[in-house]
Every structure is written in C-alpha cells, then in structure tokens.
Structure 1
C-alpha cells in the first residue's frame, strides 16, 4: 500500500509583521549585517516567525514539518552566503523570475559552518530538513578558490554533507535541485552531480528526496540521478507533466516519489480533490511502479506566495493526503 505524505520544499514567505519588523531592524543595523552578525533583536524576530510558521504547519496537519527557511534572504544560495569563506557581491537574478539574490563568491576553503543545523536545533516539532542540492548550489555560486568546476562541485557536496551530518534527528531531507532542469549538467558533469548528491545523502540517517522543478530533467542527467543512493526523486507535475511522466515511464524511478502537484508560484489554491486527481493520474500512468511512499508537495519553494495563499495550500495538501485512498 502506498503511503501519501503531505509536505513542502520549504522556503516559506515571511509573515507580514516579520517583514515590517525585520526591515526596520536591519535598516538600523546595516553594518553588522554586512559583517554577517545578527543582533539579538533580529534573531528573536526570526525565532518568533519560525515558531509561527511551524505551528501553522502543525495546525494544517502536514506530515512533514519544515523550519521554514525564513532567514534565507538569498534563497538556495543561503548556506554559502553566510559562510566565512564566501563574499556576497552583486545582485543576481534568481533563475528566470523576478527574485534576486546576492552572488556568493567562494574565496576560501568551504569548511564546516553549522548555520542550517542551528536553525533546526532551534525548531521544535520539525521533522524535515531542507538544503540546496550540491549541483544547484554550485551553479548559483562563483568560485574563486578551487578554480576547477569538478573540484568545486565536489567541494560543495562535501560542504553540504558536513552541514547535514550535524543536523538533529529528522525523518526526511529534501535536497532542492532545480538547476538539474534549468542548467542541465553536461556529459561527465552529470555523473559528478550524482556523486555529490550521494555524498550528502550518505551523511544523514533519514529518507532523502532530491526534488527537481521548473520543468523536467533531460534524459541523460536523469539516468545518472537514478544512480544516486537516494530514496526518492521529485518531479514538477505543474510545469511539465508530460516530460516528467516520460522520464518515469521510460527509466523508472525510486521506490518512493515526490510529486509537485501544487503550484508554488500561483495564488490559485488547489482543492484537495484536484491534488488527489493529480496524484492518481501519475500512479495510473505508471502501473508498473508500486510506490512505497508518495510525497505530495508544492512544485517549488513557497516564498513566492502571499502568506494567506501559502497557508491555504498547506491546508489543501494536508487534507488531500488525509483523504487519498492508498493504492
């Protein structure tokens, strides 16, 4: 029987009160923030917002609860942006949309930092961690230290593995890898990306989901991703359901799967019935694959949405998983 688990890729929108309060606090402490130091007031504001976001997921009834990644102003680039060996420079477009992040330029050795682990340690009731995948993080960054693409990707994988190893106990780790779709790796690089993902997965004792979105992975990188020792691959069935279905039908997938069946960038809220129809459509079209677990999730991060719409989508995901009939 297939278990349906309601979850998200994290990176939630900040509550409105927190946006106002943090904007004011950061405006008064700009020099400290450039140096990477957050005052007690800023940390406390983030802490209250984190508690609010976690409580809202529990209220919705999600099976996997994330910390929310509210401090991730640079989105998936965040774990590098706060590192001592990284300089943040100019403003760069975040993939192909109207969001921007500070370019992280790696100027020294990527040793252990512990920033994401500290966020998780401060978060009661969280049972799912979120990290950028090593390939996407390396593509979002600029390297001025390793000076070799292969060495840099390996270093980013080792860095993320060290960060993940310090995590408190969780049930699931979502590795977000949109760059596998938007900037698909070339021959040779696709195999290295799979090895880097392996390094992160091997560092944790929990289920690991590599979630991809904004389209479908090309066939060869997908085949190499299938070689990675992870528990599930995530597919964006909002942006491109046909090509993602083709990959699963042609090459198979892991025993479990993550299905992006809720639009993380559209304010239209899906009903639980619509979500279950999308899950059933995938399962009906791959009858040879009997999934152990289906992670029902948004296709992308949720920070694009207004808070009320993001929360409504949490409710819909949880309600869908609670009513889905196991296959």
Structure 2
C-alpha cells in the first residue's frame, strides 16, 4: 500500500554525500562525473564493496529519516555518478574503447560508444530499491538517468540517428521503471539535465523520448531538470531553456531548482496543473540555510503552482557537499515545510 504523504512532502533530488571511507571524495570532486565506469574511485576492495555500500546506504537512509524528510532515496551511494551506474549496465556498448562527447562545460569527456542495439539484459536497480524498501517505512524514491540525457552522453556508431538512439534508451528506461515500481518504489525520478543543456536538440525529440519512457508507468514519475551540480557548474542562467515542452508529457511532476538560480516563479506558469518538486536548497555553499530562509523560497512560489501537487526538494543532488552540511540542509528543508504547512 502506498505511503500517505503530508502536504508539501519533502525529499532530496537523489544523491547524498558518500562517506570518505567508501569513495575518494577528493578525486571525485576534481573530475567531471564519469560517464563510463570509474572503479578507481572506490576505496574499498571489490570483495567488500557491496557490504560497504550497504552500510553507507543505511547511513544515508537514517540521515534522511533523522532530518525529517517524508520521502527517502538510497542516496545513490552505489553510483560513481548519477548516470553511469545504469548506463554502463546496458548491452550494445563498447566500454573498453570509449568515445568522446563535449559536455556542458565545453570539455571532451569519455562516454560509452554505442556499437549495437541498446538492450537491458536484466533489471539494474531492482535490488537497490528492495534494499531501500526493506530498511524504511517512509515513502521511497528511486532515480534513473533519462533517455535523452543518456543518448547525449554516448557516441553513436550504430543507430546513426540521434532520435532513434534516444528512443532506444527510452525503451530500456521504460522497462526499468516498471520493475522499480513492482519492487516497491513509491516514486521514480528520471534525471534529464541535458534537456536544459541541449535545448535545440531537445526541442526536436526530447519530450517524445521522455513520454515514451514514462507513459503508462504504474506510479508517479518525476522528471528532474537542473543546471548541473553546483560543484561543477557555478553559473546559473535566469531561466530554463526547456521547460514548457514538458507540460504535455505524462510526468506527474517536474523537479526544478530555484534556490541558487533565484528562478522567477512566473517561469512555472506553463506547467500549471502539473506537479512541481521545488528545489529550495542552495547547494553552491556548504553553509546551512535557516528554515526561515528556505520557507521564504517556498512562499514566493505558492501563487504560481498547484499547491496541492507541490513537493519540496533540493536544487540538485547533495553528492558534493560535506555530510554535516547535507544533514543540516535536509533538517532546514523539513522544518521549513512544517512552517509553511501551518500557514496553508
């Protein structure tokens, strides 16, 4: 039975800081998020890695519960980056001889090279959501990289058609989403930052790929847009270059950032009637905002959204913050939600 959520349910986008004893955080913070595997980041020998990741995931779950969040994730603790954990588990890729793609910062990075049909030989994150479901009685959310973003993070030498590649990724994401809901997820989020990073391409088939991936899902699916991790991309534009295009997709909610970008809530009008997961934690600084500051960020959006379908979240993932900062920001989020609920 789905967990009943309060008004303005609180959650993080997905990732939380991984412990220093688990991953080389200094090295992680000085390179762009890997798109191919980066096993060298793990500090724990491979034979102990799953057990260590289990322990760190439990710590992430408890941190969210102790902060008072209503929806918890697994913290993406088992992932080297938000996308490569899933993307590199697929077939049809040459990971030993990667290709290159220029990222949003203008840097050429190694990416999977598509040499055959994209297939999902087995569910990728089902055991992750089962583990999460077994260790909390709160609503749980699992995140999956979106099809458009994965297609943009790959060098295609098979389909020779970027739309066809994105739709192939959509098919494997659709199958994964079905398995995640069957395994106990209450919410699934697909991460699509490259809809914002590549708006000209996204307008041709981005909404089509998202729709193909999430249509008919057994539960609510959130589509997360962002301007990139604050640790990697410091400059924020004044608004989203791809947002209104999601209004006609089957997404239950669109997850956006407003804290660091100071996004004008008028920007959300094209999504009126759609759920919004409002990012109200600024991740560009380890300083912990007061609950009053976070509550003010919520209030400024209330006249521009459907409050009954509003969730409160972090701008993006908390992966690159100190653990104490992440815990403090999550507490501020939960306390701010209580303040605003009392005013509704």
Short-chain TM bin: 0.7 to 0.9
The TM-score with structure 1 as length reference comes to 0.83
Aligned to 2:322: 306
Q: How far apart are the structure 1 equivalents of 2:327 and 2:109?
A: 24
Query: Pairwise mapping of residues 1-327 of structure 1 onto structure 2 (< 5 A)?
Result: 3-19=7-23, 39-88=46-95, 89=98, 95-96=104-105, 102-112=110-120, 113-123=122-132, 124=134, 125=136, 127-167=140-180, 168-186=183-201, 189-190=202-203, 192-202=205-215, 204-214=217-227, 215=237, 216-218=239-241, 221-242=242-263, 244-249=264-269, 251-284=270-303, 286=304, 289-325=305-341, 327=344
Question: What is the aligned partner in structure 2 of residue 26 from structure 1?
Answer: none
Distance 2:144 2:55 in 1: 22
Tell me if structure 2 keeps the 8 A contact 1:9–1:300.
Answer: yes
Considering only aligned residues, what root-mean-square deviation do their CA atoms show, in Å?
A: 2.9
More helix by share: 1
For residues 240 and 222 of structure 1, what CA distance do their matches in structure 2 show?
15
- Look up the SS of the partner of 1:44 in the other structure: helix
SS in 2 for 1:85: strand
Structure 1 residues 33 and 241: alpha-carbon distance in aligned structure 2, compared to 1, 3 A threshold: closer
1:299 is displaced (CA, Å) by: 0.8
**Equivalent-residue separation in structure 1 for 2:106 and 2:55 (angstroms):** 29
Query: Normalised by the size of structure 2, how large is the TM-score?
Result: 0.79
Deviations 1:25-84 (A, max 9, x none): xxxxxx9969xxx94411111111111111211111111100111222133233112334
| TM-aligned CA distance change 1:312 to 1:94, over 3 Å | farther
CA distance in structure 2 between the aligned counterparts of 1:20 and 1:223, rounded to whole angstroms: 39
**Tell me, which stretches of 5 or more residues in structure 2 are unaligned?**
1-5, 28-36, 228-236
Name the SS for the 1:192 alignment partner.
Answer: helix
The CA distance in 2 between the partners of 1:302 and 1:153, in whole Å, is 27
> CA 1:268/1:33 → structure 2, altered by over 3 Å: closer, same or farther?
closer
Which shifted more, 82-91 or 261-270? 82-91
> What is the Cα deviation at residue 305 of structure 1?
0.9
CA distance in 2, matches of 1:226, 1:199: 15
- SS of structure 2 residue aligned to 1:227: coil
Equivalent position SS for 2:118:
coil
Report deviation, 1:290.
Answer: 3.4
Shift of 1:236: 1.5
Q: Label 1:310 to 1:96 Cα distance change in 2 as closer, same or farther (>3 A).
A: farther
Instruction: Structure 1: give runs of 5+ residues left out of the alignment.
Output: 24-30
What is the total number of aligned residue pairs between the two structures?
Answer: 305
CA distance in 2, matches of 1:110, 1:101: 21
